[in-house]
Amino acid sequence: MTLGLLAISLLNLSPRLLAQTCQDVEKMNRWEKRFDANQDGKLDAQESAAKEAARKDAFQRLQGRYDKDGDGKLSESEKAARRAAMEVKRKEMIAKYDKDGDGRLNSPERQAAKEARKAEKEAEKTKKG
């Protein structure tokens, strides 16, 4: 009986789970397609190496400052440090853009924060270039 219920539950995937699985496969395919230079639908050793180098570069840009031991992964203590830093940044954003003082950013406040960040990025580009 239990085995039968397990089989039914495995075959009866929820539409949400099925959609998520399809999105994950599509995302993976888009990522791999970027590195499939010969367009054969598979990644050879050279293409795989390029993909891995890009993954490492993305990790360094996005989370490398938290990887104190330099192993290319975030340990639990490194993740905790990242969470703490993100919480500080969140509080700074709220303090700066929360005009109504409710402790949260509503839609107009969020939009103002986005526009300010976009202007900062443009200023950085202009300064560099």
> pLDDT of 83-121, one tens digit each?
999 999 999 989 999 988 898 889 999 999 999 989 988
* Pairwise CA distance, residues 106 & 116, whole Å: 15
Question: CB–CB of 100/106 below 8 Å?
Answer: yes
- Cα–Cα distance list, 77 to 74, 82, 90, 125 (Å): 8, 9, 20, 34
- Tell me, what's the pLDDT at 12? 54
- Cα–Cα distance list, 62 to 31, 37, 51, 129 (Å): 17, 25, 16, 22
pLDDT classification of 22: cutoffs 50, 70, 90? low
In 3D, which of 105, 112, 76, 109 has the Cα closest to residue 91? 105
- Tell me, what's the pLDDT at 88? 94
Record the pTM: 0.51
